[in-house]
Amino acid sequence: MTAEGDLLQYRLVAIPGDGVGPDVVAAAKRVMAAAGARFGFGVEWHDILVGGAGIDAYGMPIRPDDLAACAVSDAVLLGAVGGPKWDDPTAAVRPEQALFAMRGGLGLFANLRPVSVHPALVPASPLRPELLDGVDMLIVRELTGGLYFGERSEAAGPAGARAAHDVLPYSEPEIARVARLAFELARGRRKRLTSVDKANVLATSRLWRTVVHEIAVEYPDVALDDRLVDACAMQIVRAPASFDVLVTENLFGDILSDEASVLAGSLGMLPSASVGSRRTAHGLHGLYEPIHGSAPDIAGRDLANPIGTILSVAMLLRWSLGRADAADAVEGAVSDALDAGYRTGDIWPRSAAAADACTRVGTVAMTDAIVARVGAGAGSAAAPPDAGTPMVEPPVDDLDVGTTVATAQLPGLL
């Protein structure tokens, strides 16, 4: 952060990326500017070309200098990377390598996905309305270990007898740090934590379960239960409101969080944060992005729903900048715009009766509706916490020895 006159200036990296990424990141920047104008701060954006855009410009998905720029920023906002142009899985350079480089390089070991269903969007969900009542879960996925980072060998051998393998390693420290984060988050919410594993089959899951239970002793106020991943997958669609915080390893988290996202009616609605233990002067350093991909089928056509990215900005404000005031305002503005009937195509009601009360808008007009409400003070802190937009409270305690500043300097996080 720098000071320009009396105005606080936060330094953020923007990665528009590919496909709809530039559409939704442009929308999110407008919302951030409106929040800054209302709450008295500025944002100095540093845009970098990453993913397919990075491959086209520099021949690599992310340059070391760009990774360094992310590291010294207050936080990073990402649209999405990838698309058909770079989809060859055997290519030496691929857009998603940038994601792994950022997760590993920035120490972002946990991905947080809040899932709730705005009441106005219940008709857009494939689940029966009565199942969606009270859905408010937070999935904490371990992000830098397990199968995706283990040793592997590509298929080899004669046709008909080829073999390949992927190794699933987990160490106790890797499990402990994400478990501790999940307990902290549960403590700030409804105090229930579900740990998801496959301990009846996998040795790593048995270690996972042991370590999680050892840490549970430090959190006697949080009720812990274990769930096998297959049973959990069923429970997410059968009784989604039964969950508070879930914590699980990388592969299971990838699958379960995509499954849970369906509840909200559209991929375009949901935000996410990837965080580690490093703190800046304002909060946890992190990377924020909508959960959807680059949606090449609708890129550049004013069709993308910007809400997932705009709610990612709210998470960024809350967690990385310590601006709960502005985060509340952004979440409230999204809720109010939905209540006012604004709908992008992906959340358009299925029934004609419900559609009568709605206005179909594109990316820009939906952003206009939200920006106007942020600026006008709609959705202030007085908005009810169960208004249906994802609201995540940051952990109340220091999480790790990686803490670099005194907690007294972090009033927004305490």
The residue from 107, 271, 286, 293 that contacts ligand NAD (CB under 6 A) is: 293
> Phi and psi dihedrals of 393, rounded to 5?
-85, 140
Nearer to ligand NAD, 20 or 185 (CB): 20
Q: Judged by CB under 6 A, does residue 81 bind ligand NAD?
A: yes
**Of the candidate residues 13, 15, 20, 49, the single one contacting ligand NAD (CB under 6 A):** 20
User: What is the helix (H) or strand (E) element at residue 30, kind and residue range?
Assistant: helix 21-39
Q: Round to whole Å and give the CA distance between 298 and 409.
A: 43
Give CA–CA dist 1/97, Å, rounded. Answer: 29
Can you read off the two tokens belonging to residue 257?
């969080």
Q: How far is CA 223 from the centre of its chain?
A: 24
User: What's the rounded Cα separation, in Å, for the pair 147 and 249?
Assistant: 9
The interface region with ligand NAD, picked from 82-90, 237-245, 275-283, 374-382 by CB under 6 A, is 82-90
310 binds ligand NAD (CB under 6 A): no
CB atoms within 10 A of CB 295: 23
Name the one range near ligand NAD by CB under 6 A: 81-89, 163-171, 184-192, 225-233: 81-89
Contact call for residues 114 and 138 (beta carbons, < 8 A): yes
Q: Does 286 bind ligand NAD (CB under 6 A)?
A: no
In this complex, which beta carbon is closest to ligand NAD, that of residue 114 or of residue 308? 308
- Looking at the Cβ atoms of 254 and 393, the one nearer to ligand NAD is 254
Q: Which residue is nearest to ligand NAD (CB)?
A: 293
Q: With respect to ligand NAD, which residue has the nearer C-beta, 45 or 100?
A: 100
Q: Interaction with ligand NAD in 231-250: which residues (CB under 6 A)? A: none
What is the distance between the alpha carbons of residues 167 and 234, in angstroms, rounded to a whole number?
26
Catalytic sites, residue numbers: 148, 198, 230, 254, 258
Residue 193 as a binder of ligand NAD (CB under 6 A): the answer is no
Tell whether residue 80 is a contact of ligand NAD (CB under 6 A). yes
Among 232, 298, 387, 413, binds ligand NAD (CB under 6 A): 298
The burial class, CB within 10 Å (0-12 / 13-18 / 19+), for 400 is middle
Does 294 contact ligand NAD by CB under 6 A? yes
The candidate with the shortest Cα–Cα distance to 264, out of 329, 334, 360, is 334
Candidate list 55, 112, 140, 295; residue touching ligand NAD; CB under 6 A: 295
Is residue 53 close enough to count as binding ligand NAD by CB under 6 A? no
Containing 133, the helix (H) or strand (E) segment is none
- Give strand pairing partners of 227: 196
| In the complex, least distance from residue 332 CB atom to ligand NAD, rounded to whole angstroms | 21
- Residue located via tokens 């959807």: 292
Total residues in contact with ligand NAD, by rule CB under 6 A: 21
Q: Does 305 bind ligand NAD (CB under 6 A)?
A: yes
Which one, 289 or 331, has the nearer CB to ligand NAD? 289
Cα–Cα distance list, 236 to 50, 239, 264 (Å)? 34, 6, 12
AA letter at 204: T
H and E: helices and strands count for the chain: 13, 15
Q: Which stretch binds ligand NAD (CB under 6 A): 148-156, 196-204, 279-287, 295-303?
A: 295-303
Neighbours of 202 (CB within 10 A): 15
Q: Which region, judged by CB under 6 A, interacts with ligand NAD, from 59-67, 109-117, 273-281, 300-308?
A: 300-308
Enumerate the H helices of 191-279 as residue ranges.
203-216, 229-238, 250-261
Residue of 36, 114, 145, 268 that binds ligand NAD (CB under 6 A): 268
Of 362 and 402, CB closest to ligand NAD: 362
Binding residues for ligand NAD, rule: CB under 6 A, are 20, 80-83, 87, 99, 267-268, 289, 292-298, 304-305, 308, 346
